[in-house]
């Protein structure tokens, strides 16, 4: 289209169709996002660490993950919400992720997204204890 030229009927129609297709795509993405966001959280499956570890070692691993996680991208507020959710019971965790607009891709919270599409991957060790955790006593 040349400078200063009014769009013709075909160009206007094409733009209208493109806008409609974009709207439909966005509406479908929003509906999918709403469905994914409302996924019910589930307790992670049992897992084993490569070696038996103590609760203190597990706590250290978790602290190191949460301290460094925001440096890999995403929003700090979402990381904070994910941490609180990971450290809560399932009902409270569900409320937290729903309230924060976090999109749950895996029901065990190992893969999540925020509303902007940023990806958040959580290791199993921040979500549950390993089966080979060394118990005191």
pTM, to two decimals:
0.71
Averaged pLDDT for residues 75-91: 96
Residue 27 to residue 22: CA distance in whole angstroms: 9
Q: Is residue 133 classed as helix, strand or coil in its secondary structure?
A: strand
Residue 88 has pLDDT above 60, yes or no: yes
Residue 18 to residue 37: CA distance in whole angstroms: 28
CATH numeric code, 40-127: 1.20.225.20
- In the prediction, which pLDDT does 100 show? 96
| Predicted confidence band of residue 8 (pLDDT cuts 50, 70, 90) | low
Averaged pLDDT for residues 63-72: 95
Span 14-65, pLDDT tens digits = 444 444 444 434 434 444 444 444 579 998 888 999 999 999 999 999 999 9
Helices vs strands, H then E, count in the chain: 5, 3
Mean predicted lDDT score pLDDT of the chain:
81
- In the prediction, which pLDDT does 66 show? 97
Q: Which two tokens stand for residue 8?
A: 């013709």
- In the prediction, which pLDDT does 30 show? 43
41 within 8 A of 104, measured Cβ to Cβ: yes
């Amino acid at each position: 289209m040349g400078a200063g030229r009014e769009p013709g009927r075909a160009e206007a129609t094409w733009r209208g169709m493109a806008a409609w297709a974009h709207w439909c795509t966005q509406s479908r993405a929003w509906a999918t996002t709403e469905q994914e966001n409302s996924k019910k959280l589930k307790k992670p499956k049992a897992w084993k660490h490569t070696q038996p570890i103590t609760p203190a070692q597990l706590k250290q691993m978790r602290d190191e993950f949460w301290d460094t996680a925001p440096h890999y991208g995403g929003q700090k507020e979402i990381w904070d919400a994910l941490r609180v959710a990971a450290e809560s019971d399932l009902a409270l965790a569900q409320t937290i992720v729903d309230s924060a607009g976090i999109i749950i891709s895996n029901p065990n919270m190992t893969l999540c997204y925020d509303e902007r599409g940023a990806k958040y991957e959580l290791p199993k060790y921040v979500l549950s204890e390993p089966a080979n955790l060394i118990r005191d006593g």
